[in-house]
A and B are shown apart, each in its own frame.
Chain A
Amino acid sequence: MTWPPSLPILTLLVWTPAAGALVSAFPGEPRASLRRSLSLGFAAVSLALASFLALTIEPGGNFRELRRWIPALGLSYDLFLDGFGSILVLWVALLAVLALVSVDSRWLGRRATFLILLTETALLGLATAADGVLLLVFYGVGLLSFTLLPGQVEEMKKFFLFQSAGVTLAAAYVAVSYYLTWIQTGFPSAEIARFPSLVSFPDFQNRMLLLGAGVVVFAGPLFPLTSWVSSSASALATPGRILLLGGWSLAGSLFFVRAVVPSSPQSAGALGVTVLAALSVLYAGLAPRRSWAPLLVGFQGLVVLGLLSPTVQGVTAGRVGMLHLALALSAITLWKADSEDARGPAFTGGIAALLFLLPFWVVLRERWNSTPAVAALAGLGLILMAFRLVRTLPPLSPRRSLLLWPLLGFWILLLAAPSRFAPADSTAPATEEEE
């Protein structure tokens, strides 16, 4: 779709929050309400653009912006949005608005507002960048924004340690793909759509899958690299926590699903990653602590199980699962914001657990046909995880229930648009550059 060709709508979508971050940095601490209004205004514009794109994109269609960035190195400013991407950007834009309205203006300082909006730009860029190097640029910006958000030295260092390991692996993956493109085509390019067509040996494909899976293992994270999750979540205020668990938790799997999975989904190394993912789900069910780490790791495990599934239905369920992960964790964050340790009625918690965990049943069903042992292991973890969720959800306050309505609406949207999550061949390499 080229609507209207002269308007760089994807650029507007991605960079509007960054502009908002700069503008909302001007009002000083006494003018907190003005800052909040400004930041909300920019986030709302971004949400409106994302909604427009999600509503107008045709089945199988896409939006694309392709400009020269560093011609001598074959790198482009390439933004691309397909059906799956349109749902992702809608989610990110909605999440940023929710994060900004989740607390009073006096709790939202200049630094937090700036970093939240900058993170939104990074996440939107991650969802739309079609050039590997550009994707890494957004990845780096998002990582630094999140690192600086907690403001406590030890938490910042711990978060950075794991996440930068993920970025380093992602950079290595893109660098090798960039080299292979150079060798194969004779000119350099980091266009993600070219990665699946790179000729490589099975051995090499295996190593590349493991390299790419390393990004999810560190950044996702998967079991056992979980030590940063709870400390980072605890160090953040509610808006930052919503963005971390509902937005940044997608970064690693986004890289995986966009750059790695289309290239080598069924290599032998996939089995090792699958087992690790199943263990992550089991850990989520068995972990004794009431913390965020088991929940996040469990959901990530289910997503990875789906993404590495041998069937299209399984992969689709994995892609849907990514958004369910984000939806579930941000909803639970809002739910728990007022009373972290209280325990509410099991009935409400049970419904919530059903809502969030039911879609993953498809993942397990598809997985059962290829690797029943892994599916059984993960299934056991899923059941235990559901019980755990029911036990730990506190009573819901009226204000929080109001904020949960948009999330419920988004959940219904997910159910209504399953076709957008199916992997498609709509990301063919560009044949000509648009100036």
Chain B
Amino acid sequence: MHAFLTQIGYDAWVLPALLIIPLVGAALLLVQGALASDDGTLAAAPSARWIAFVVFTLEFLVSIGLWWSFDPATTAWQARVTTSWIPDWGARFDVGIDGISLFMILLTTFLMPLAVLGSWTSIRDKVRTYYALLLILTTGMLGVFMSLDMLLFYVMWEIMLVPMYFIIGVWGGERRIYASLKFFIYTMVGSLLMLVAILYLWQVTKNPVTGQPSFAYDDMVAHAAVYSRAALWLFGAFFLAFAVKVPMFPFHTWLPDAHVEAPTAGSVILAGIMLKLGTYGFLRFAMPLFPGAATTPWVRTTILTLAVIGIIYGALVAMVQPDFKKLVAYSSVSHLGFVMLGIFALTLQSVQGALMVMINHGISTGALFLLIGMIYERRHTRMLDAYGGIARVVPMFAVLLTLVSLSSIGLPGTNGFVGEFLVLLGSFKTHPWFAFFAATGVIFAAAYLLWAIQRILFNRLDKPENEHIPDLNRREVAIMAALAAMIIWIGIYPAPILTRMEASANKFVTDVQAGAPRAPGLVMGGRR
């Protein structure tokens, strides 16, 4: 496989191709729309979803080669492609991956075709625009994961916002307008301050060869690893942008609204991929750029505390939700708390665990949102009380919901276990008390999810309208089969994934620790 990939020069074109394929797909949909005389409803334009599905499948097939072409031994950027963009400002089109971004890219390309299948029949209005927006969104997300130029990164970071804003606002539920605006404004406040911080960094960053200002990620890391008063402010700006996206407690309030109001595919993408953009931002940008600020004791303690509060608070709030979708939304706050704990505990195991939780949360929560979407299409309600005892009516749905819930809880043998276990193991070494409190979050997770599936699937079948729900059709089973296979594979044999991320995770931990402030006196010694 490796030889074949080398032969076709895979590394030289794969990343730009991944960015361009969705855009070509979006253009195809728009051209088709301009040529067709129909009104863009599902009945009139059934081909739109097929175009989107084929494009996303192609995207996935193109990206999967990265799994083999990736060299786990090195920490250098791989599959790197760089060309000139705005030479006057030292900005380049510069993309590449390491063991951290590899899995984020694969997760994205894996989930997107499933998200299309998940909206197969539920999106009936303006279908072309809907799928075109999904495609554009994919380019933005992949762009963030592979950018090695800060200007490119920022542009990609912002560009994701517009498609998602429209997906929630046009195809969402009843309170969609409120939810979409809240989502947009929250994200924008954080990102714009990050923009100022990036420009500030750009002023101090010089390209080593030309001496001109440079947006190159490597140059910025080389120049910004200083501890000073400014570094704290700059870290703060990056922190705000990423903490809103993660979302960390108390910046999470946009999340339940956005997740609940978004259409199924929107929720899957929001939870499965977009939340990871925040934690990825910490791993790639906020911490390597400002290791001194990020590891300042009070900063680190505050963030770890917020992470653990997020774990427990998210779980407790999830427990009392009457709406299944909202329950899963709050469970995301809890899971992402584990990721933040793992990242800021700063041991190899905890960081690897955090990466695993990022992957697993994408798969499990994506699967949960898809299942909710499927049952919602049948019964048009997401209230837990409206169901009960439907395991007998829809056995296939029941089996899959149970499996996915168990993986989300973190049962050994499923993917969820690997990540959370590693996070707890790793953070126990440096921060035992935080690990202790975080571990209670696992118990709460078991409580809210098991209680929820009890109320949906088991109990008594006491509502007549539940007696004739059709079970999952073949399309839906196919979606879930792909996800279930991943759940079990990662749960049983995570080694190939862990090997591929080990070198990069190790580099992250050593680099950040090397930049930590040594003398405690420096910590309080800002000027003025």
* A in complex with B: no
Chain A residues in the interface with B (C-beta under 8 A): none
